[in-house]
Amino acid sequence: MNAIISASRLASDLTGPNPPVVLDIRWQLGGPNLRHAYEEAHIPGAVYVDLDTELAGPAGAAGRHPLPDPEVFAEAMRAAGVSADRDVIVYDGGLGWAAARAWWLLRWTGHPSVRVLDGGLAAWSGPVESGPAAPAAGTFVPAPGKVSLLDADGAAALARTGLLLDARAAERYRGDVEPIDRVGGHIPGAVSAPTTANVAESGRFLPPAELAERFASLGADGSSEVGVYCGSGVSGAHEVLALAVAGIPAALYVGSWSEWSRDEGRPVATGPDPQ
């Protein structure tokens, strides 16, 4: 199944006999959450999910957005109406990063049919509604491990033996600036691949062929495994999504730079080159 869905297709599916569950994952780095924006206007039937508390665990040694407690995630998904036998569509305010985090988590925990609204809420021209939704409870039971996941050691190894992509802005990769984490730079051997280059000005993904060409130019030519990291496992999920659109499977290092850089014993590379 395609990893993304257009606004027009979603509008059609919502009027069909088996409408999907829709999750609103609007989020901003550093908070506060955007529940107020959701309650002002959202796609009809959409349920708000808080990235910081329901799609991630507490910040700490494992990074700023580590994996959530499985039961917290399960309860949030069931409260939102998610069941394994019903399609799920996720969206956010437009960047797609937060929606991709929800997409990746649902795939990692075994949901068979989840897609991201291409272009997010900005692409939606249909009706909206206000106030909270009250869906019937779902029955989803997470089964973690259904897609590839990297830890710090696995990311380091993949940077040597395969292809590890750094989805952050190029200036953070080079170490020119670091506005959030302890130190700037990148995992030695990782290749700079800002996720912002995967979308057009509209916020929609580039066509699959263009994405495949971009990733091939970075080394994703089918000859080796591919992994992705970012600052804290959010924009990196968006890069994994872009790779999926291009037909390339990739593992996510959820702890990402926020975990890697906390450990002063781990090496840090700077400058424009991988090493």
Which residues are the active-site residues? 230
C-alpha span between 148 and 145 (Å, rounded): 7
Please name the residues in contact with 69: beta carbons below 8 A apart, sequence gap of 6 or more.
Answer: 57
Angle subtended at Cα 234 by Cα 50 and Cα 81, rounded to the nearest 5 degrees: 35
Quote the radius of gyration of the chain (alpha carbons, Å).
Answer: 18
C-alpha span between 31 and 145 (Å, rounded): 29
